[in-house]
């Protein structure tokens, strides 16, 4: 091969290596610029369409036992559709009876998968409270005595209801536990308590999307019935049968068993029925007398006039985020 050809080959090889080096340099520079852009420019971060948030609260409908002044529960876990929820604040003990008439106890707020859910389960510690004291779940009676709520060392309370979580939104979920339908006296006792059977307990707990609920409240003037206590029961329209509801029903003998929720008429005549899901309802005002043992006995249903507006107590349309308010006058009583 001639020296001219060799020189030409060497020049070609040098140019080829230079081009390859330039390509490598350009690729490296491009990669560094991309990395730098990712580090410095978070304007368009990756979107995770599967993550949402939820806020879970708990409330109560009142217990109808005048011998009870508090019902304390200790929650150690929250499971949503069978999975322990990381948003739960951790073991907590509180008086559920303190959260009525729209008041709630916050149990936690945090991330959750964006999808639809149908069940929340509360895991309770019946043995020890948040401070390690015994018992973990109990009734405090009017003598300030703690009466343990029997139900095993750990028990679960299952609440059914539909709610959906969506990306960039915080679902507001309320667990409405009706204590009136959740605990009863132990067999043969007038001082010791227990939780009702599992099916009855499940029926006593509602899970609702707070944004899809409304409120019914009012002021009731009663100068004729002589009641020791009046309880307002909300029923789904058409579901109230006085011939059944006035008698104790089921294994735990619960009166007015099929009411959605209830409210005790305050001494000033006011009442509040909160977290009612959208739909049609009817209200029934039941008069009670206290017997010789200090227990409430239902004696009849109050007859009422609506003093303002055109509301019908037997056909109330409750809409999401709406409040119905009424003034009522007791005109008589239909005795049982």
Domain boundary among 28, 45, 62: 45
Closest by Cα among 296, 289, 295, 95 to 190:
295
Q: Could you tell me the residue range of the domain that residue 320 belongs to?
A: 51-335
pLDDT category of residue 17 using cuts at 50, 70 and 90: low
Query: pLDDT value at position 41?
Result: 47
- pLDDT over 90 (residue 43): no
Query: pLDDT value at position 45?
Result: 53
Pair 28, 55 in one domain: no
Pair 75, 56 in one domain: yes
Q: Is-contact 53 164, C-beta < 8 A?
A: no
Q: Mean of the per-residue pLDDT values for the chain?
A: 89
Q: Is-contact 91 74, C-beta < 8 A?
A: yes
| Average confidence (pLDDT) over 265-291 | 97
| Average confidence (pLDDT) over 288-310 | 92
Pair 202, 82 in one domain: yes
Question: 10 Å Cβ neighbour count for 79?
Answer: 16
Closest by Cα among 310, 336, 193 to 326:
310
Pair 217, 300 in one domain: yes
Query: pLDDT value at position 284?
Result: 98
How many angstroms separate the Cα of 277 from the Cα of each of 96, 200, 214, 294, 318?
A: 21, 21, 6, 34, 7
3-state secondary structure of 322: coil
pLDDT over 70 for what percent of the chain?
85
- Listed in sequence order, the residues at least 6 apart from 36 whose beta carbon sits closer than 8 Å to its beta carbon are none
Query: pLDDT value at position 21?
Result: 54
Query: pLDDT value at position 64?
Result: 85
- pLDDT over 70 (residue 7): no
- pLDDT over 70 (residue 178): yes
Pair 39, 70 in one domain: no
pTM of the model: 0.83
- Listed in sequence order, the residues at least 6 apart from 71 whose beta carbon sits closer than 8 Å to its beta carbon are 60, 63, 95, 96, 97, 138, 139, 140, 149, 179, 183
Sign of CA dihedral 44, 45, 46, 47: negative
Kind and range of the H or E run holding 37: helix 3-40
CA atoms within 13 A on the CB side of 38: 6
Pair 142, 258 in one domain: yes
Geometric angle at alpha carbon 207, from 168 and 146, rounded to 5°: 120
C-alpha–C-alpha distance, residues 91 and 122, integer Å: 11
Pair 119, 24 in one domain: no
Pair 288, 205 in one domain: yes
3-state secondary structure of 155: strand
Q: What is the 3-state secondary structure (H, E, C) of 170-190?
A: EEEEEEEEEHHHCEEECCCCC
- pLDDT over 70 (residue 191): yes
- pLDDT over 50 (residue 25): no
- pLDDT over 80 (residue 217): yes
Pair 75, 6 in one domain: no
Q: Is-contact 287 220, C-beta < 8 A?
A: no
Q: Is-contact 285 265, C-beta < 8 A?
A: yes
Prior bond of 135 cis (ω within 30°): yes
Q: Is-contact 113 163, C-beta < 8 A?
A: no
Domain boundary among 45, 60, 81: 45
Query: pLDDT value at position 153?
Result: 62
CA 146 to chain centre: 26
- pLDDT over 50 (residue 26): no
Geometric angle at alpha carbon 108, from 102 and 113, rounded to 5°: 115
170-209 burial, b at 16+ Cβ within 10 Å, e below that, comes to: ebbbbbbbbbbbbbbbeeeeeeebbbbeeebbebbbbbbb
- pLDDT over 80 (residue 13): no
C-alpha–C-alpha distance, residues 194 and 182, integer Å: 9
- pLDDT over 60 (residue 34): no
| Average confidence (pLDDT) over 175-200 | 93
| Average confidence (pLDDT) over 318-323 | 97
pLDDT category of residue 131 using cuts at 50, 70 and 90: very high
The greatest distance separating any two alpha carbons of the chain, rounded to the nearest whole angstrom, comes to 129
Pair 39, 75 in one domain: no
Pair 28, 159 in one domain: no
Counting the structural domains of the chain, the total is: 2
pLDDT category of residue 28 using cuts at 50, 70 and 90: very low
pLDDT category of residue 44 using cuts at 50, 70 and 90: low
Rg (CA), the chain: 31
C-alpha–C-alpha distance, residues 163 and 201, integer Å: 20
Q: What is the pLDDT of residues 50-104, one digit of tens each?
A: 899 999 999 998 888 888 999 999 999 999 999 999 999 999 999 999 999 999 9
Pair 179, 324 in one domain: yes
């Amino acid at each position: 091969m001639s020296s001219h050809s060799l020189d030409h080959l060497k020049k070609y090889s040098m140019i080829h290596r230079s081009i390859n080096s330039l390509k490598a340099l350009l690729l490296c520079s491009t990669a560094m610029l991309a990395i730098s852009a990712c580090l410095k420019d978070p304007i368009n971060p990756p979107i995770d369409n599967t993550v949402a948030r939820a806020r879970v609260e708990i409330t109560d409908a009142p217990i109808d036992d005048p011998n009870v002044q508090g019902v304390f529960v200790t929650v150690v876990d929250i499971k949503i559709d069978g999975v322990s929820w990381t948003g739960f604040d951790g073991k907590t003990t509180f008086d559920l009876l303190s959260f009525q008439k729209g008041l709630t106890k916050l149990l936690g707020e945090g991330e959750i998968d964006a999808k639809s859910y149908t069940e929340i389960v509360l895991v309770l510690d019946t043995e020890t409270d948040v401070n390690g004291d015994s018992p973990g779940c109990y009734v405090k009676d009017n003598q300030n005595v703690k009466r343990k709520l029997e139900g095993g060392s750990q028990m679960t309370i299952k609440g059914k209801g539909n709610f959906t979580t969506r990306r960039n939104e915080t679902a507001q979920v309320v667990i409405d536990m009706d204590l009136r339908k959740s605990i009863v006296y132990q067999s043969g006792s007038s001082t010791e308590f227990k939780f009702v059977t599992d099916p009855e307990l499940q029926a006593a707990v509602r899970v609702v999307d707070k944004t899809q609920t409304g409120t019914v409240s009012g002021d009731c003037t009663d100068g004729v019935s002589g009641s020791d206590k009046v309880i307002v029961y909300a029923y789904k329209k058409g579901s109230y049968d006085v011939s059944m509801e006035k008698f104790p029903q089921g294994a735990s003998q619960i009166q007015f068993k099929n009411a959605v929720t209830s409210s005790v008429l305050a001494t000033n005549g006011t009442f509040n029925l909160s977290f009612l899901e959208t739909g049609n309802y009817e209200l029934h005002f039941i008069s009670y007398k206290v017997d010789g043992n200090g227990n409430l006995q239902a004696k009849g249903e109050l007859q009422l006039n609506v003093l303002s507006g055109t509301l019908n107590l037997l056909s109330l349309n409750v809409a999401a985020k709406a409040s119905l308010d009424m003034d009522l006058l007791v005109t008589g009583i239909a005795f049982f």
